[in-house]
C-alpha cells in the first residue's frame, strides 16, 4: 500500500514538473515577441475601439494595414455618426484624410514611432519590450501585460493592459487606462492576418481618397446637420468661459469661445464645405495626434481637428501640448458650458 502511495506521489510530481516546464515566463514571451517582429513582413487586422472619455461611449470600427518597414493605413469609421477618417504613411510622408470633405493634411513626421498606438501591433510590442517594469500574467488563452504607455501629449492615459493570444501571439485586446485603472480606451481585435499581401498602390494617397469617397452619400448626411456649438468638459487651471462670439461667413458661421484664468485659451469652431476634387494636401508644420474620435494636428501653441464637418482649433500660449490634447479630447458629447 505504501509503495502504491509513493508511486502515485511520484507520478503527480512528474506531472507538475512537466506542466511547469510548459509554462512560459515573461522573458520567454518577450523573446518570442522579438522573434515574431523580426519575421513579420506586415499584417492586416480589424478592431472595435470604444472611447469612454465623453458623456457617452463612442464606438469606432478600425481597419489596420501595415507593410514593413514603414507603410501604414489606418481607417477609422463610426457608422453611427457616418464619420470616416484615414491616416496613411508612405514614402511621401504621413497623410490624414477626411474623405467626406475631400480634405487631406500632410505631415513630415515620425508617426507612429514617436508614441504609443493602441491599434498597431508593433507599437504594442514595443511598449512591452521597452517597459522593464511591465507586469506579466497568463490565463488559459492569453498572455497579459500591464505596461506604461508612450503618449507624449496625453498624461491622462499612462497605463495599458495588453492581451495576446497564446496560440500565435496575435493581439486580442488593449485597455488604455487612467491612473486609477479606469479603462478610457478599449480596442478589441479580430481577423488578424500576419504576413498579409498588398497591392503596389494600397498605400497611395489618391487611391485611398477615391476608394473611401465611394461611400460619400452616407457620409454626406453628417455634413448637413445643424451647427451645434460644443464646449470642453476638461477643467484647466480653473479656466472659465469669458465670451462667446459668433461671426457670420459667406458659406456658414464661426464661433469663438474665449476662456479666462491662469491658463487662458481660445476655442474656434467653424462649419466647412467640401474642397474641390483637385485639392492637394495641406502641409502641416506639426505632429499628428490621436484624439480617439479623430486625428488632430498639434503644433507649437495650438491644436486643430475636424469632426462632423466642423473645423476646431484651440490656441493658447499658456497651455502645454498635453493640456491642449486633453482639452481637445473633451470637446465632444452634449453641450456643456
Mean pLDDT to the nearest integer, 292-318: 88
Nearest to 160 by CA among 171, 169, 149: 149
The neighbour count for residue 273, using CB atoms within 10 Å, is 11
CA distance 64 to 113: 16
Q: What is the structure's pLDDT at 226? A: 67
Cell of 188: 478589441
Q: What is the structure's pLDDT at 14? A: 45
User: In what side-by-side order are the strands of the sheet with 295-299?
Assistant: 240-249, 252-260, 265-271, 310-315, 302-307, 295-299, 287-290
What is 114-147 written as a DSSP string? Answer: TS--TT-HHHHHHHHHH-TT-EEEE-SSEEEEEE
Total-model pTM: 0.82
Q: What is the structure's pLDDT at 336? A: 45
Mean pLDDT to the nearest integer, 297-313: 88
Tell me the pLDDT tens digit for each residue of 214-249.
765 544 454 555 678 999 988 787 789 999 999 888
Mean pLDDT to the nearest integer, 187-216: 90
Those residues whose C-beta lies under 8 Å from the C-beta of residue 148, and which sit 6 or more positions away, are 127, 131, 133, 134, 158, 159, 160
Nearest to 55 by CA among 312, 306, 310, 233: 233
Q: What is the structure's pLDDT at 8? A: 55
The neighbour count for residue 274, using CB atoms within 10 Å, is 17
CA distance 30 to 40: 15
Q: What is the structure's pLDDT at 82? A: 61
CB 103, CB 306: distance < 8 Å: yes
Tell me the pLDDT tens digit for each residue of 12-45.
554 444 344 458 999 999 999 999 999 999 999 9
Q: What is the structure's pLDDT at 335? A: 46
Q: Which helix (H) or strand (E) holds 83?
A: strand 83-90
Q: Specify the range with the lowest mean pLDDT, choosing from 62-66, 156-160, 247-251, 323-327.
A: 247-251
CA distance 241 to 171: 43
Tell me the pLDDT tens digit for each residue of 251-286.
778 999 999 999 999 999 998 776 665 457 787 777
Tell me the pLDDT tens digit for each residue of 110-131.
889 878 999 999 999 999 999 9
State the average pLDDT for the chain: 84
Segment of 44-48, 180-184, 281-285, 294-298 carrying the highest mean pLDDT: 44-48
Question: Would you give the DSSP letter of residue 281?
Answer: P
Those residues whose C-beta lies under 8 Å from the C-beta of residue 105, and which sit 6 or more positions away, are 95, 96, 281, 282, 283, 284, 288, 297
Q: Specify the range with the lowest mean pLDDT, choosing from 50-54, 213-217, 324-328.
A: 213-217
CB 156, CB 184: distance < 8 Å: yes
CA distance 304 to 294: 11
Per-residue confidence at 174, pLDDT binned at 50, 70, 90? Answer: very high
Tell me the pLDDT tens digit for each residue of 64-114.
999 999 999 999 887 665 678 899 999 999 999 888 778 888 988 888 987
Cell of 24: 512560459
Question: Would you give the DSSP letter of residue 101?
Answer: G
Q: What is the structure's pLDDT at 16? A: 47
Cell of 117: 498606438
Amino acid at each position: 500500500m505504501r509503495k502504491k502511495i509513493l508511486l502515485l506521489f511520484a507520478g503527480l510530481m512528474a506531472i507538475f514538473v512537466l506542466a511547469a516546464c510548459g509554462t512560459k515566463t515573461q522573458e520567454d514571451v518577450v523573446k518570442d515577441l522579438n522573434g515574431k517582429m523580426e519575421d513579420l513582413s506586415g499584417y492586416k487586422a480589424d478592431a472595435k475601439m470604444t472611447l469612454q472619455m465623453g458623456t457617452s461611449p463612442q464606438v469606432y470600427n478600425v481597419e489596420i494595414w501595415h507593410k514593413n518597414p514603414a507603410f501604414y493605413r489606418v481607417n477609422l469609421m463610426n457608422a453611427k455618426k457616418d464619420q470616416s477618417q484615414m491616416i496613411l504613411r508612405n514614402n511621401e510622408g504621413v497623410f490624414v484624410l477626411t474623405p467626406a470633405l475631400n480634405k487631406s493634411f500632410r505631415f513630415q513626421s515620425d508617426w507612429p514611432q514617436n508614441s504609443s498606438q493602441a491599434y498597431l501591433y508593433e507599437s504594442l510590442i514595443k511598449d512591452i519590450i521597452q517597459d522593464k517594469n511591465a507586469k506579466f500574467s497568463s490565463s488559459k488563452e492569453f498572455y497579459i501585460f500591464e505596461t506604461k504607455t508612450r503618449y507624449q501629449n496625453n498624461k491622462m492615459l499612462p497605463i495599458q493592459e495588453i492581451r495576446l493570444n497564446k496560440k500565435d501571439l496575435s493581439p486580442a485586446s488593449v485597455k488604455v487606462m487612467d491612473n486609477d485603472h479606469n479603462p478610457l480606451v478599449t480596442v478589441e481585435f479580430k481577423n488578424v492576418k500576419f504576413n498579409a499581401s498588398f497591392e503596389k498602390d494600397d498605400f497611395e494617397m489618391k487611391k485611398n481618397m477615391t476608394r473611401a469617397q465611394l461611400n460619400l452619400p452616407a457620409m454626406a448626411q453628417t455634413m448637413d446637420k445643424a451647427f451645434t456649438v460644443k464646449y470642453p468638459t476638461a477643467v484647466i487651471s480653473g479656466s472659465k468661459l469669458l465670451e462667446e462670439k459668433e461671426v457670420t461667413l459667406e458659406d456658414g458661421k464661426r464661433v469663438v469661445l474665449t476662456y479666462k484664468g491662469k491658463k487662458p485659451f481660445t476655442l474656434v469652431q467653424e462649419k466647412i464645405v467640401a474642397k474641390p476634387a483637385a485639392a492637394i494636401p495641406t502641409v502641416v508644420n506639426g505632429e499628428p495626434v490621436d484624439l480617439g474620435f479623430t486625428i488632430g494636428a498639434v503644433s507649437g501653441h495650438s491644436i486643430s481637428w475636424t469632426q462632423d464637418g466642423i473645423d476646431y482649433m484651440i490656441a493658447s500660449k499658456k497651455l502645454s501640448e498635453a493640456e491642449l490634447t486633453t482639452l481637445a479630447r473633451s470637446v465632444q458629447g452634449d453641450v456643456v458650458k
